[in-house]
Amino acid sequence: MAGSADFDLYRPSEEHDMLRDAVRSLAEAKIAPYAAAVDEDARFPQEALEALLANDLHAVHVPEEYGGAGADALATVIVIEEVARVCASSSLIPAVNKLGSLPVILSGSEALKRKYMTPLAKGDGMFSYCLSEPDAGSDAAGMKTKAVRDGDHYVLNGVKRWITNAGESEYYTVMAVTDPAKRSKGISAFVVEKSDEGVSFGAPEKKLGIKGSPTREVYLDNVRIPADRMIGEEGTGFATAMQTLDHTRITIAAQALGIAQGALDYAKGYVKERKQFGKPIADFQGIQFMLADMAMKIEAARQLTYAAAAKSERVAAGGGEGDLTFQGAAAKCFASDVAMEVTTDAVQLLGGYGYTRDYPVERMMRDAKITQIYEGTNQVQRIVMARNLP
């Protein structure tokens, strides 16, 4: 079914359904038991990383020719959604591996792809994405990090902020200014390695949610890298960064979708057990209406997200950009707003218990908030949608 906006009702295949069952079983057995402790201690979810690595789910998007699973965009969405259902921090492992490495897949030379996609597929190192800076958030083109050519090398200097999994990742896609006079057309993209001399990290941010996923500054102090680590041609980095976000905002929609589904699932079970006035509170119409609205909005977010994933896959296969920019922004914006609303309602359904850390919906509500902010705030998403109306 397709309308003028090409919003296909994308139905997962039998293989997708089997993948969902496998990831859900793995997440519930190997990731969920540690989710509360990961949040409480604000520590990296090592157990989740090991479970994902053992099952080749850490970077399913990597093409088969580089040793990856070659999963399509919907399969990647399903992996992220099912992991986020039990632990949002852990879902950022596959999500940010795609975010960080997609610029290389989209614009990198064949040699660069083989050099970095192969170890990513093997699990030898994660990938992070370095776009934002202290004074360049929504206005990413205003970045100040510089890359100066010096013979067969570039020398990078600057600070990147809000970098997910910084310090844990081995590889970093870094956007830097190579020609200040050209603003966005003077920005280039590079692969920087954690081991490069001059690379260091700030202290982990003390965050409201996703506490298990480290967010740190990345410092580049005269980092000298070979010129062949440039991704694409000089001056094309910003275009690559924006093209990347068209695809990866859908993974944030998936994360939000998973968080919301996890909160609904927990709340449904609770209201069936909790009794007041002599019967389960699930029997009260007011509660039933809340649950119905939560489920309805989650399903709408799921269809929007899956349709955007289908569009992403067609674009990746050479089907033209079309309205992917609109659909990616719409999916991310809608799903994250739904996640915030659903998790807040889940806390309400649990009453006083929902407000304590003894129950997971409090964590889910805190985790949901970031999905409205990163990879472009939802206010920016609405600007993007307005400029790209289908």
CATH value at residue 182: 2.40.110.10
Q: Are residues 203 and 272 in the same domain?
A: no
Q: Are residues 279 and 226 in the same domain?
A: no
N-terminal to C-terminal alpha carbon distance within the chain: 17
Q: Are residues 242 and 229 in the same domain?
A: no
Joined together, the tokens standing for residue 344 give 């807040």
Domain annotation covers residue 2: no
Mean pLDDT of the chain: 95
Average pLDDT for 266-284: 98
Rounded to whole angstroms, the Cα distance separating 203 from 216 reads 6
Of the chain, the percentage scoring pLDDT greater than 70 comes to 97
Q: What is the pLDDT of residue 320?
A: 64
Is 50 exceeded by the pLDDT of residue 2?
Answer: no
Q: Are residues 307 and 374 in the same domain?
A: yes
Q: What is the pLDDT of residue 318?
A: 81
Joined together, the tokens standing for residue 64 give 């088969």
Where residue 167 falls among pLDDT bands split at 50, 70, 90? very high
- Please provide the DSSP assignment of 14-61 as one string: HHHHHHHHHHHHHIIIIIHHHHHHHHHHT---HHHHHHHHHTT-SSTT
Rounded to whole angstroms, the Cα distance separating 48 from 31 reads 5
Domain annotation covers residue 212: yes
Query: What is the enclosing helix (H) or strand (E) of 373?
Result: none
Q: How many CB atoms lie within 10 A of CB 170?
A: 15
Is 60 exceeded by the pLDDT of residue 7?
Answer: no
Rounded to whole angstroms, the Cα distance separating 242 from 237 reads 9
Is 50 exceeded by the pLDDT of residue 106?
Answer: yes
Q: Are residues 319 and 271 in the same domain?
A: yes
Q: Are residues 221 and 258 in the same domain?
A: no
Residues paired with residue 220 on neighbouring β-strands, in sequence order: 158, 199
Q: Amino acid identity of 309? A: A
Rounded to whole angstroms, the Cα distance separating 191 from 269 reads 46
Is 90 exceeded by the pLDDT of residue 313?
Answer: yes
Is 80 exceeded by the pLDDT of residue 49?
Answer: yes
Q: In the listed set 187, 202, 236, which residue is the last one of a domain according to the structure?
A: 236
Rounded to whole angstroms, the Cα distance separating 374 from 298 reads 20
Is 60 exceeded by the pLDDT of residue 4?
Answer: no
Q: Are residues 69 and 184 in the same domain?
A: no
CATH value at residue 18: 1.10.540.10
* pLDDT tens digits for range 317-341: 887 656 899 999 999 999 999 999 9
Burial 323-333 (b: 16+ CB within 10 A, else e): bbbbbbbbbbb
Average pLDDT for 31-39: 98
* 10 or 309, higher pLDDT: 309
Q: Are residues 365 and 306 in the same domain?
A: yes
Q: Are residues 101 and 165 in the same domain?
A: no
Q: What is the pLDDT of residue 10?
A: 63
* pLDDT tens digits for range 279-312: 999 999 999 999 999 999 999 999 999 999 999 9
Rounded to whole angstroms, the Cα distance separating 245 from 242 reads 5
Q: Are residues 153 and 194 in the same domain?
A: yes
Is 90 exceeded by the pLDDT of residue 39?
Answer: yes
pTM of full prediction above 0.85: yes
Q: Amino acid identity of 210? A: I
Please tell me the total count of domains within the chain: 3
Q: What is the pLDDT of residue 322?
A: 65
With the C-alpha atoms ordered 270, 350, 378, 40, is the resulting torsion angle positive or negative?
Answer: negative
Using alpha carbons, select from 182, 157, 164 the residue that is nearest to residue 92: 164
- Whether 370 contacts 291, CB under 8 Å: no
Domain annotation covers residue 200: yes
Domain annotation covers residue 309: yes
Domain annotation covers residue 3: no
Average pLDDT for 328-355: 98
Q: Are residues 52 and 184 in the same domain?
A: no
Domain annotation covers residue 190: yes
pLDDT-wise least confident of 244-248, 314-318, 381-385: 314-318
Domain annotation covers residue 324: yes
Q: Which domain holds residue 76?
A: 14-122
Residues paired with residue 231 on neighbouring β-strands, in sequence order: 189
Q: In the listed set 122, 149, 168, which residue is the last one of a domain according to the structure?
A: 122
Q: List, by residue number, the catalytic residues.
A: 375
Q: In the listed set 186, 221, 236, which residue is the last one of a domain according to the structure?
A: 236
Rounded to whole angstroms, the Cα distance separating 119 from 130 reads 19
Burial class for 38, CB neighbours closer than 10 Å (0-12, 13-18, 19+): buried
- Whether 334 contacts 40, CB under 8 Å: no
Rounded to whole angstroms, the Cα distance separating 165 from 311 reads 28
- Residue 389 CA, distance from chain mean position: 24
Domain annotation covers residue 6: no
Q: Are residues 131 and 219 in the same domain?
A: yes
Where residue 388 falls among pLDDT bands split at 50, 70, 90? very high
* pLDDT tens digits for range 357-375: 999 999 999 999 999 999 9
Is 90 exceeded by the pLDDT of residue 390?
Answer: no
CATH value at residue 287: 1.20.140.10
